[in-house]
């Protein structure tokens, strides 16, 4: 006979509750995007390395990302590796990605894998099994998902997320300038992004836990603040992953309405503005390239303070 303690040990803590707890612990909603790009990485790490040799570049990416994690891992609740920058290096890049994920997890960070996966039926199930949960090969706490093959393609991701205590962030209103070409189209009842948001809210509500939020969240860009506020109201049970802050031009005041009264409900991503802060005059003049980790940490602290001030 299986005891209650065994059952509880086998039941993973839902992603929504883990994320809420980590935000409260770190007292901020910042997500640092891990987007290693060869030309932007500090020259000391690139020196003597052949940029055309994928295995050597992968080693540089590994060193860079692990040192970024050392710099910011004690400050923020989550990180977001962008899979494409690792995948372009082939198998060695994927080895590096797994090392980065494992190191981030060892620091107690929530790991959101940014792969924007999406497909039909068994293929979607395979993606979900590959990326979601501590027992999966890629050990992701959450995954970004593309909904534009239809609502049924989201169901395998929802099922895996619930089973494994993981999360899913569905693209609803993205931060890129061209997003309006499809997402803002006027469908018979309402704009496309609103129809996607309605379905996300349905899934979020039926998977919600004590925090009030569910396993299914939404990607909503800070570069469209009016729609961000609109979608916060339309999806009260969905965590929002908010890109666009920093290098894409959005400010702290643009994201303030993404949060609930307790300061939960959203996480805000910044990638280039933190990773390569040493190249920005306000940090480069103080730290120089040699102290690029210190520049990244300081840019992270400044973002934390700016968001706190904007949220009141």
- Asked if 266 and 225 touch (Cβ cutoff 8 Å), the reply is no
Q: Report the SS3 class of residue 274.
A: helix
Q: What CA–CA distances, in Å, run from 220 to 54, 93, 122, 173, 174?
A: 33, 28, 27, 5, 5
Specify which residues 234 forms β-bridges with. Answer: none
Average pLDDT, the chain: 92
Distance CA 258, CA 138 (A): 29
Mean per-residue pLDDT, 89-96: 97
| pLDDT confidence of residue 30 | 98
* Residue 150 binned pLDDT confidence (cut-offs 50, 70, 90): confident
- Which residues partner with 80 through β-bridges? 33
- Say yes or no to pLDDT of 164 above 90: yes
Residues 6 or more apart whose Cβ sits within 8 Å of residue 140: 101, 111, 112, 113, 131, 132, 133, 166
69 pLDDT higher than 80: yes
What is the pTM assigned to this prediction? 0.92
Q: Which residues are marked as active site?
A: 116
pLDDT at 256 over 80: yes
What does the pLDDT read at residue 48? 93
Residue 103: pLDDT above 80? yes
**How many other CB atoms are there within 10 angstroms of residue 203's CB atom?**
25
Residue 311 has what pLDDT? 83
Tell me which residue of 65, 34, 73 sits closest to 297, measured CA to CA.
Answer: 73
Average pLDDT over residues 275-289: 96
Burial, 68: exposed, middle or buried (Cβ in 10 Å; 0-12, 13-18, 19+)?
buried
Domains, the chain: 15-311 (3.20.20.70)
Structure confidence by residue, pLDDT tens digits, 198-236: 999 999 999 999 999 999 999 999 888 899 999 999 999
Q: Which two tokens stand for residue 153?
A: 């393609």
* Structure-block tokens of residue 79: 């990180």
pLDDT at site 244:
87
Rounded to whole angstroms, the Cα distance separating 84 from 93 reads 10
């Amino acid at each position: 006979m299986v005891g209650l303690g065994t059952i509880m040990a086998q039941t993973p803590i839902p992603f929504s509750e883990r994320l809420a707890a980590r935000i409260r612990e770190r007292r901020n909603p910042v997500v640092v995007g891990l987007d290693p790009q060869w030309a932007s990485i500090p020259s000391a790490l690139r020196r003597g390395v052949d940029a055309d040799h994928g295995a050597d570049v992968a080693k540089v990416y590994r060193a860079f990302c692990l040192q970024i994690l050392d710099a910011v891992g004690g400050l923020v609740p989550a990180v977001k590796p962008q899979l494409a920058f690792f995948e372009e290096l082939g198998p060695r890049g994927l080895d590096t990605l797994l090392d980065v994920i494992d190191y981030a997890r060892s620091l107690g960070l929530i790991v959101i894998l940014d792969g924007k996966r999406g497909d039909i039926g068994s293929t979607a199930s395979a993606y979900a099994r590959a990326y979601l949960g501590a027992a999966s090969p890629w050990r992701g706490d959450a995954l970004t998902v593309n909904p534009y093959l239809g609502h049924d393609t989201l169901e395998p991701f929802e099922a895996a997320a619930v089973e494994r205590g993981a999360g899913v962030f569905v693209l609803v209103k993205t931060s890129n300038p061209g997003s309006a070409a499809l997402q803002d189209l006027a469908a018979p009842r309402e704009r496309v992004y609103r129809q996607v948001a309605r379905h996300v809210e349905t899934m979020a509500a039926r998977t919600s836990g004590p925090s009030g939020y569910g396993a299914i969240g939404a990607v909503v860009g800070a570069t469209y603040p009016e729609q961000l506020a609109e979608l916060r109201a339309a999806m009260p049970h969905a965590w929002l992953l908010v890109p666009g802050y920093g290098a894409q031009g959005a400010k702290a005041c643009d994201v303030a309405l993404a949060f609930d009264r307790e300061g939960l409900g959203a996480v805000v991503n910044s990638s280039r503005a933190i990773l390569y802060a040493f190249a920005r005059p306000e940090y480069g003049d103080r730290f120089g390239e040699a102290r690029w980790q210190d520049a990244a940490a300081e840019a992270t602290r400044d973002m934390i303070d700016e968001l706190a001030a904007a949220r009141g």
